[in-house]
A and B are shown apart, each in its own frame.
Chain A
């Protein structure tokens, strides 16, 4: 069966510091990968998605970036965090067209 791992679960960072969140998927190959942000009490905002190694599509222009160095690894990064980057970050994988996505347990990021 497929599993998705996301870490860390909680992160507290100062403003202006860098960020690296990692997500890995097991039990499947060539998945579509997604990074979402969820503000408190709000829906899911798609940040990036990837359909293959090195292929990244950005949905929201901001100071975050994503990379996919390996087939089942997806990384969310920032060089300098802003207060507005606080939130709940979720990684997900999916298959093909209009197929369900499956989520990790998320990283709660607080910027001080």
Chain B
């Protein structure tokens, strides 16, 4: 079993819809969770960084962590075509303080 699982998609939704992107993880010791956005032929860009359980909001983006279910989510409100990208989740691994454990990424397509 992979330490972090993420559906590769693609996920295609109409412009203006609410998008829900999800990851599951296996190790209950993970405490730090991140979401990155990656446009084609570019490096990943940090979107959200959260610690432990709960919600964090930044503009149209909300990150949610449910440690009891080992489930993390990223919600995008009022989605725009410019949100079309691959979204990667990552967590601070318990076995090394210097490495992150990465999901494979979900490709999101917002249709105008």
Write the residues of chain A forming the contact surface with B, with a CB cutoff of 8 angstroms. 6, 32, 41-44, 46, 49, 51, 57, 59, 88, 90, 92, 94, 96-106, 108
Inter-subunit contact B43/A90 (CB<8 Å)? yes
Secondary structure at chain B's binding surface: helix, strand, loop or mixed? loop
Q: How far is the CA of A59 from the CA of B99 in the complex (A)?
A: 10
With beta carbons under 8 angstroms apart, the residue of B41, B43, B103, B107 that contacts A103 is: B43
User: What are 15 A-B contacts defined by CB distance under 8 Å?
Assistant: A32-B98, A41-B107, A42-B104, A43-B102, A43-B103, A46-B99, A49-B98, A97-B92, A99-B92, A101-B46, A103-B43, A103-B44, A103-B45, A104-B43, A106-B43
Measured between beta carbons, the chain A residues less than 8 angstroms from B41 are: 88, 106, 108
Measured between beta carbons, the chain A residues less than 8 angstroms from B100 are: 98, 101
Secondary structure at chain A's binding surface: helix, strand, loop or mixed? strand
Is B42 an interface residue, CB under 8 A from the partner? yes
Q: How far is the CA of A105 from the CA of B97 in the complex (A)?
A: 24
Closest to A10 in B: B41
Closest to A101 in B: B100
Q: How far is the CA of A106 from the CA of B102 in the complex (A)?
A: 17
Inter-subunit contact B92/A105 (CB<8 Å)? no
Q: How many A-B residue pairs have CB under 8 A?
A: 54
Q: How far is the CA of A105 from the CA of B45 in the complex (A)?
A: 10
Measured between beta carbons, the chain A residues less than 8 angstroms from B98 are: 32, 49, 51, 57, 94, 97
Measured between beta carbons, the chain A residues less than 8 angstroms from B43 are: 6, 90, 92, 103-106
Is B63 an interface residue, CB under 8 A from the partner? no
